[in-house]
């Protein structure tokens, strides 16, 4: 870790030297646990899925998350601060096979169960709850947006916590202080002159003003001013891309309010798209379109633009936004969360389908069950094979990381 801190000191004065340190940080994060490795290995997931023996059904071509692990779902606020559990990270979104989201979520839940030292039979029960929750959601009433599915105690607690949060909570959590500055340190690094100049220019555009004033009942004619900004060391698989935190002031005088923006580079998705799918060539536009289809609360708060010749997505962070954290699961909690999160994904997929298509998809998913598990054989086989592949890849990743660390 001494080498890492030395690198960070260099980074504080040399923004141009970020890339090597960010790569090292990504490898460090992925080495912390098998579940952490799964979260950061989207490319390996699809390679393993392609090489697997299970024949996956091909569902309706809809926008999918593409990286549907537990950490990419959470409580999301809409423009007016109303909350719902939705998909919260759409970097990998494509028009593709909805089965890919189910298998990815199943793998994530299986790894969380293994990390919680739950018996192997619990993985089978998790997958049973997952497919049941997904099908129940597809059978639901899509004429109303209200989520009536059963919520586990942890989800209920997260929702209660979310609705009582304000700017002070967001500032202390993200910035460590409520003062209108971004403190440089481990998470926030200094900008180059070119980056700061480009950010100042971005916040003077009409598109940026419209995005900022569209939230939290602000007046559409209010002004927006950039107060402070920094390079944001955040995420895992996205470490190494452009990522900025920008603190802005909207309005003037006593009516002024502070807000925090996340500016994130969008790159080509690893998730495979449906063969005949027509999607935007610009990756940021793709992310925003996928978000609006899958997670309206989030998608309607996002904007695609160009920044330093890169495609980026800009969104204001809301105090109510919270990710689902899974540390230690009991068997009942694992099963309840599996059913609930699968329902969230089912509603995200299902709102893009007609009732006839949803009914047909439910029937397709009901085929190929075995006598030993109340879930499709392809789901069980895929998750088991991927758990084994990721376990091997994780141990090899740790070995290579340890060797590289000793050399440095």
Write the pLDDT tens digit of every residue in 159-173.
Answer: 666 655 654 655 555
pTM for the model stands at 0.87
Looking at per-residue pLDDT, the higher value among 283 and 30 belongs to 283
Residue with tokens 């740790």: 398
d(CA 199, CA 259): 15
Residue with tokens 């935190």: 245
What residue spans of 52-205 are helical by DSSP H? 99-115, 120-138, 153-163, 167-174, 193-202
pLDDT at 196 over 60: yes
Give me the mean pLDDT over the 54-69 stretch: 95
d(CA 53, CA 378): 9
Confidence band of 321 (pLDDT split at 50, 70, 90):
confident
Structure token digits, residue 318: 């809301």
Q: What is the pLDDT of residue 353?
A: 97
pLDDT at 7 over 70: no
Looking at per-residue pLDDT, the higher value among 335 and 169 belongs to 335
Structure token digits, residue 155: 């989800």
Give me the mean pLDDT over the 333-353 stretch: 94
d(CA 274, CA 32): 34
Percent of the chain with pLDDT over 70: 86
**How do residues 290-310 score in pLDDT, each as one tens digit?**
999 999 999 999 999 999 999
Q: What is the pLDDT of residue 249?
A: 86
**How do residues 93-117 score in pLDDT, each as one tens digit?**
999 999 999 999 999 999 889 888 8
- Candidate from 43-57, 169-183, 324-338 with smallest mean pLDDT: 169-183
The overall average pLDDT reported for the chain is 85
Q: What is the pLDDT of residue 10?
A: 47
Give me the mean pLDDT over the 210-228 stretch: 82
For the ranges 225-239, 311-325, 374-388, the one whose mean pLDDT is highest: 374-388
C-alpha distance from residue 71 to each of 5, 35, 288, 321, 322 (Å): 27, 10, 19, 13, 10
Percent of the chain with pLDDT over 90: 48
């Amino acid at each position: 870790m001494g080498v890492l801190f030395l690198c960070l000191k260099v980074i504080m004065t040399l923004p141009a030297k970020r890339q090597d340190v960010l790569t090292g940080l990504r490898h460090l994060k992925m080495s912390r646990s098998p579940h952490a490795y799964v979260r950061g290995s989207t490319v390996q997931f699809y390679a393993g899925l392609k090489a697997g023996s299970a024949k996956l059904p091909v569902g309706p071509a809809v926008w999918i998350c593409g990286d549907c692990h537990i950490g990419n779902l959470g409580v999301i606020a809409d423009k007016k601060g109303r909350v719902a559990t939705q998909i919260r990270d759409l970097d990998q979104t494509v028009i593709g096979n909805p089965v890919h989201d189910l298998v990815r979520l199943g793998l994530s839940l299986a790894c969380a169960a293994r990390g919680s030292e739950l018996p192997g039979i619990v993985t089978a029960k998790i997958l049973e709850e997952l497919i049941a929750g997904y099908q129940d959601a597809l059978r639901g009433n899509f004429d109303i947006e209200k989520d009536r599915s059963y919520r586990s105690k942890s989800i209920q607690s997260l929702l209660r916590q979310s609705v009582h949060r304000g700017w002070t909570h967001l500032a202390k959590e993200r910035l460590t202080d409520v003062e209108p500055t971004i403190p440089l340190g481990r998470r926030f690094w200094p900008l180059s002159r070119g980056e700061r100049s480009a950010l100042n220019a971005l916040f003077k555009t009409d598109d940026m003003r419209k995005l900022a004033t569209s939230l939290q009942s602000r007046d559409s004619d209010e002004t927006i001013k950039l107060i402070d900004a920094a390079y944001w060391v955040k995420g895992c698989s996205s470490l190494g891309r452009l990522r900025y935190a920008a603190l802005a002031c909207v309005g003037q005088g006593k009516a002024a309010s502070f807000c925090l923006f996340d500016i994130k580079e969008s790159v080509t998705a690893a998730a495979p798209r449906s063969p005949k799918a027509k999607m935007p060539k610009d990756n940021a536009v793709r992310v925003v379109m996928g978000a609006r289809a899958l997670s309206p609360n989030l998608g309607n708060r996002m904007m695609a633009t160009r920044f330093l010749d890169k495609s980026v997505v800009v969104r204001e962070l809301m105090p109510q936004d919270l990710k689902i954290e899974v540390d230690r699961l009991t068997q009942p909690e694992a099963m309840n969360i599996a059913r609930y999160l699968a329902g969230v994904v089912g509603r995200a997929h299902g709102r893009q389908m007609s009732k006839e298509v949803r009914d047909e998809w439910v029937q397709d998913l009901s085929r190929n069950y075995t006598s030993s598990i109340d879930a499709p054989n392809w789901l069980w086989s895929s998750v088991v094979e991927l758990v084994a592949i990721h376990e091997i890849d994780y141990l090899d990743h740790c070995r290579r990381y340890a060797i590289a660390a000793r050399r440095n």
